Amino acid sequence: MPLMSRRGWLAASAIFPAAGALIALRSKAEFSAPVSGREVLRERYFPNVLLTTHEGKQVRFYDDLIEGKAVVINVMFASCNDACPLITANLTRVQELLGDRVGRDLFIYSITIDPEHDTPEILNHYAKSYGVGPGWLFLTGKPDDIELLRQKLGYVDPNPELDQDKRLHSGMLRYGNEPLSQWASCQGGANPEWIAESISWVLPKANGSTG
Cβ contact 203:106 at 8 Å: yes
Residues 37/46, Cβ–Cβ less than 8 Å: no
Mean pLDDT, to the nearest integer, of 20-48?
Answer: 69
Provide the whole-model pTM.
0.82
Q: Is 156 helix (H, G, I), strand (E, B) or coil?
A: coil
In the predicted model, what is the mean pLDDT of the chain? Answer: 85
pLDDT score at 22: 43
d(CA 40, CA 45): 8
Q: Within the chain, where are the H helices? A: 3-15, 37-45, 83-98, 120-129, 143-152, 160-163, 192-200
CATH match of 3-17+38-200 with 1.20.1440.230? no
Per-residue model confidence (pLDDT) at position 4: 45
Residue 24 CB contacts under 8 Å (≥ 6 apart), including other chains = none
- Comparing 7 with 167, which gets the higher pLDDT? 167
Q: Tell me the mean pLDDT in the region 161-167.
A: 73
Beta pairing class for 136-141 and 107-112: parallel
pLDDT tens per residue, range 116-144: 999 999 999 999 999 999 999 999 999 99
| pLDDT tens digits, 194-207 | 999 999 999 987 55
Q: How many CB atoms lie within 10 A of CB 144?
A: 10
What residue segments make up the domains of the chain, in order of their start? 3-17+38-200
Q: Reduce the DSSP state of residue 153 to 3 states and report it.
A: coil
